[in-house]
Amino acid sequence: MNILLTGGCGYVGTPLTLSLLESGHKVTVVDLQWFGNRLPSHPNLTVIQADVRNAELVPMAGMDAVLHLANVANDPCADLNSKLNWEVNTLATMLLVERAISHGVKQFIYASSGSVYGVKDEDEVTEELSLVPISDYNKTKMISERVLLSYQDRIVVNIIRPATICGYSPRMRLDLSVNMLTMQALTKGRITVFGGDQTRPNIHLRDMLRVYHHFLAKGLTLPGIFDAGFENISISEIARRVTSHVPAEVVTTPSNDPRSYRLSSKKLLATGYAPKFTVEDGIRDVIAAYRSGSLQDTDLCYNIRTMKSMTSLS
């Protein structure tokens, strides 16, 4: 397949690009490269450094599918520049799907977020429940979903709502719960837990890649919205699991983030998908990468630190 992947230099995008190439696909990556580019050259890979808001720079001719991952990721980064957040996360999504339709692209796969549900008391949070986003970032994801669904009579739309992702990537993020707590244990011998009782869903990075491959293979017959998360555990439990691998003190402090929900992925599982990796695997991945020297605790591993250091975010 000829695949356009936005955000292909990111935490998920980098290993996703590599896995698509390994599967024999031709991949065109469009990424502004705020966090660099760690993709090796490959005869089936084209990398374009461009802003997705400039849709005319995004090549759609001859593409079989679009994987749209590019976004201003997480609440602190979205709050840093509200205009940028809405333009990149929502306006660009509309421009890209319209451009895809005009070029006859058959499939548009969108990386939304499980955080669109907000705070939920239900034992299982399913795709049919109402969305109550509590941050600007969550709101841009919700609105983007609705924009895309308005085009579903003209292009097959697969919307994926991932849980919090864990595990090692060449473009590492240490601002995600499992990765962050594991790195704290490794470098400080001390884990700081904010709140701790909040239940959050998790998914291993390699399973996240497998979800996207699953929809590239079957997505034309599976339009709609799908949750993707398989371990609903508290932040305190994540810390406990980390300390079973790396001895560390756990310090609990109050949190102003009330999000707590248990994601259900029964709809995804019913399509024939089955996860293979766990939070424990993610913890071990981070430990192994750190101890081998391939992972260091630098500002580039934290989205908000990197974005704050930029001279312009217009």
313 within domain boundaries = no
> Pairing relation of β-strands 65-68 and 107-111?
parallel
Residue 311 pLDDT: 57
Residue 113 pLDDT: 96
314 within domain boundaries = no
Residue 198 pLDDT: 84
84 within domain boundaries = yes
Amino acid at 207: D
* CA distance between the termini of the chain: 34
Residue 261 pLDDT: 80
Q: Closest Cα partner for 199 from 227, 229, 164, 234?
A: 234
98 within domain boundaries = yes
Please list, in sequence order, all residues whose beta carbon lies within 8 angstroms of the beta carbon of residue 19, skipping any fewer than 6 positions away.
Answer: 209, 213
111 within domain boundaries = yes
- Calculate the dihedral angle through the C-alpha atoms of 92, 96, 102, 103, rounding to the nearest 10 degrees: 150
CB contact at 8 A, 100 and 108 = yes
Q: Which of helix, strand or coil describes residue 45?
A: strand
48 within domain boundaries = yes
Residue 313 pLDDT: 64
Residue 255 pLDDT: 78
Q: Closest Cα partner for 207 from 263, 242, 162?
A: 162
Neighbours of 274 (CB within 10 A): 10
Give the range of the structural domain holding residue 279, as residue numbers without chain letter: 2-308
Residue 49 pLDDT: 98
**Ordered per-residue pLDDT tens for the chain, 314 residues:** 999 999 999 999 999 999 999 999 999 999 999 999 999 999 999 999 999 999 999 999 999 999 999 999 988 999 999 999 999 999 999 999 999 999 999 999 999 999 999 888 898 999 999 999 989 999 999 999 999 999 999 999 999 999 999 999 999 999 999 999 999 999 999 999 988 788 889 999 999 999 999 999 999 999 999 999 999 999 999 999 999 999 999 999 887 776 678 899 999 999 999 999 999 999 999 999 999 999 999 999 999 999 998 855 65
C-alpha 289: how far from chain center: 20
Amino acid at 201: P
297 within domain boundaries = yes
- The DSSP code sequence of 207-264 is HHHHHHHHHHHHGGG--EEEEE--EEEEHHHHHHHHHTTS--EEEEE--S------B-
Residue 312 pLDDT: 59
| Total domain count, the chain | 1
Integer-rounded Cα radius of gyration of the chain: 19
**CATH for 146:** 3.40.50.720
145 within domain boundaries = yes
